Amino acid sequence: MSASTRLAELGLTLPEVPTPAAAYRPTARTGALVITAGQLPVVDGELAATGKLGEALTTDQGAELARTAALNVLAAAAAGAGDLDRVRIVKLTVFVASAPGFTEQHLVANGASNLIGDVLADHGAHARSAVGVASLPLDAPVEVEAIVEVLPG
């Protein structure tokens, strides 16, 4: 089953690639690799939430926001690869704006990893880093970026 079909079966559609908030592009391609810029949990041009995990937001809320950011990563990756069905995620990095003492970054990051796996199946099996940070741009709670292999079309 194709990634596009799995996406539809999940009741999801790829959003428009979010407009960069500063001086960069949503993706850069070199050879068979696409590197995405960090994607925030933006829905219809607005952040879905703001604040830090372990303070303003729970781990479950953070995981849902990471899922939203991962959907934006897939949109950027598909645009950079030319087609979602040519995308294979090699590495995800999930940055989590964390209150002091918050240690569940890995569980927040599961929201992104699970979405990627649900949509891409075997092409979504990836290495991952989950990193706690003091703050993110625009007070976003999470940011997700990926290294993508472009599969032959």
Q: Is a pLDDT exceeding 90 seen at residue 18?
A: no
> Does 124 have pLDDT greater than 90?
yes
Q: How far apart are CA 44 and CA 95, in angstroms?
A: 21
pLDDT of residue 20: 87
C-beta of residue 33 within 8 angstroms of C-beta of residue 150: yes
The DSSP H or E segment spanning 131 is strand 127-133
Average pLDDT over residues 93-103: 98
Beta-bridged to residue 89, according to DSSP, are 148
Interval 19-26 mean pLDDT: 90
Average pLDDT of the chain, as a whole number: 97
Q: What is the mean pLDDT of residues 18-36?
A: 94
Range 3-17+34-150: architecture per CATH: 2-Layer Sandwich (3.30)
Residue 19 has pLDDT above 90, yes or no: no
Percentage with pLDDT > 70 across the chain: 100
Give the pLDDT score at 153. 80
Q: How far apart are the first and last CA of the chain?
A: 15
Alpha carbon 115 to its chain centroid, in Å, reads: 9
| Domain spans of the chain, in order of start | 3-17+34-150
- How far apart (Å, rounded) are the C-alpha atoms in residues 132 and 102? 8
> Is the confidence at residue 125, as pLDDT, over 90?
yes
